[in-house]
């Protein structure tokens, strides 16, 4: 089987998660900076299940507002348009993938914890470097490894083959994928993101987060997620560990040198935010 075949097969799978209408619409708005608050409110209110969920999220301790936010319009005004539409996309995606059966060996909580960690760290990096809008960085970080779930769920034998090889040869899962199977999680995830009509910058970020290249749609978004992934992989389990700089694309390393040099100082604080973001997004798992 080659890569084309695997992606073709992916297109044939009937129960592949489709995004709920509301996420598709929120996602379309990600590309359209002229959408009004009123339009966003209308879209949310069309999906009655989404209204109480969004209100629960915005009133959670993660945001720490003193007074209660009781309607969507208020939530949009306070949290901002970008935050709300990104939250809709995030919540819908986590939900679309988490309710699926046949995932018993896949540690969903661990997967999403990593994804949320990269999301929060991407947000931090874009706020500090001003390389990108931080809400979009959060979403890109959250979705960067989405291909792994698809690989696990629909190409299970390939997943296991790569996973075993990574353990046996003591190499990264990504290196094992490239060695053992016809398509890796970056290719698969990007294909799905493209099918979902995600913005091109997001598709490219999912596609190239391990092998950075410069002629992509949104280079700054890509390097933020790329660096956040490396930081999380180094520091999440052991905050005293050194970050393996050699795995980081040289130009990204240069652009974020001060954040990389001080990562051990700021990451513990970001880690606290990661924990509360996990509580917020993952309590539905």
**What residues line the site for Fe ion (CB under 5 A)?**
145, 229
**Neighbour-count burial of 222, counting CB atoms closer than 10 A to its CB (0-12 exposed, 13-18 middle, 19+ buried):** buried
Nearer Cβ to Fe ion (136/145)? 145
Three-state SS string across 214-270, please? Answer: CCCCCHHHHHHHHHHHHHHHHHCCCCCCCCCHHHCCHHHHHHCHHHHHCHHHHHHHH
Alpha-carbon span 143 to 27, nearest angstrom:
13
Min dist. Cβ of residue 232 to Fe ion (A):
7
Nearer Cβ to Fe ion (117/280)? 117
Min dist. Cβ of residue 196 to Fe ion (A):
18
Alpha-carbon span 66 to 58, nearest angstrom:
11
Nearer Cβ to Fe ion (69/118)? 118
Min dist. Cβ of residue 185 to Fe ion (A):
6
Nearer Cβ to Fe ion (218/229)? 229
Min dist. Cβ of residue 55 to Fe ion (A):
31
At a CB cut-off of 8 Å and minimum separation 6, what does 88 contact?
Answer: 22, 23, 26, 44, 50, 54
Min dist. Cβ of residue 99 to Fe ion (A):
22
Nearer Cβ to Fe ion (47/145)? 145
């Amino acid at each position: 089987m080659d890569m084309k075949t695997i992606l073709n097969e992916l297109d044939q799978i009937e129960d592949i998660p489709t995004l709920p209408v509301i996420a598709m619409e929120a996602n379309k708005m990600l590309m359209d900076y002229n959408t009004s608050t009123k339009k966003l409110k209308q879209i949310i209110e069309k999906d009655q299940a989404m209204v109480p969920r969004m209100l629960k999220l915005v009133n959670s301790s993660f945001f720490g507002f003193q007074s209660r936010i009781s309607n969507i319009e208020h939530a949009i005004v306070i949290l901002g348009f970008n935050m709300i539409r990104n939250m809709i996309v995030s919540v819908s995606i986590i939900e679309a993938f988490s309710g699926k059966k046949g995932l018993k060996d896949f540690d969903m909580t661990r997967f999403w914890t990593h994804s949320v960690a990269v999301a929060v760290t991407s947000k931090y990096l874009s706020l500090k470097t001003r390389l990108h809008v931080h809400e979009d960085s959060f979403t890109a970080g959250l979705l960067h490894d989405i291909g792994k779930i698809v690989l696990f769920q629909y190409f299970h034998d390939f997943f296991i083959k790569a996973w075993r090889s990574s353990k046996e040869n003591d190499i990264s899962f990504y290196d094992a994928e490239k060695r053992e199977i016809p398509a890796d999680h970056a290719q698969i995830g990007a294909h799905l993101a493209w099918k979902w009509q995600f913005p091109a910058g997001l598709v490219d970020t999912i596609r190239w987060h391990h092998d950075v290249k410069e002629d992509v749609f949104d280079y700054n978004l890509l390097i933020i997620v790329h660096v956040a992934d490396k930081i999380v992989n180094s520091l999440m389990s052991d905050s005293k560990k050194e970050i393996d700089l050699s795995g980081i694309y040289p130009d990204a390393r240069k652009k974020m040198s001060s954040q990389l040099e001080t990562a051990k100082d700021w990451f513990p604080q970001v880690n606290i935010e990661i924990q509360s973001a996990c509580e917020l997004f993952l309590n539905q798992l």
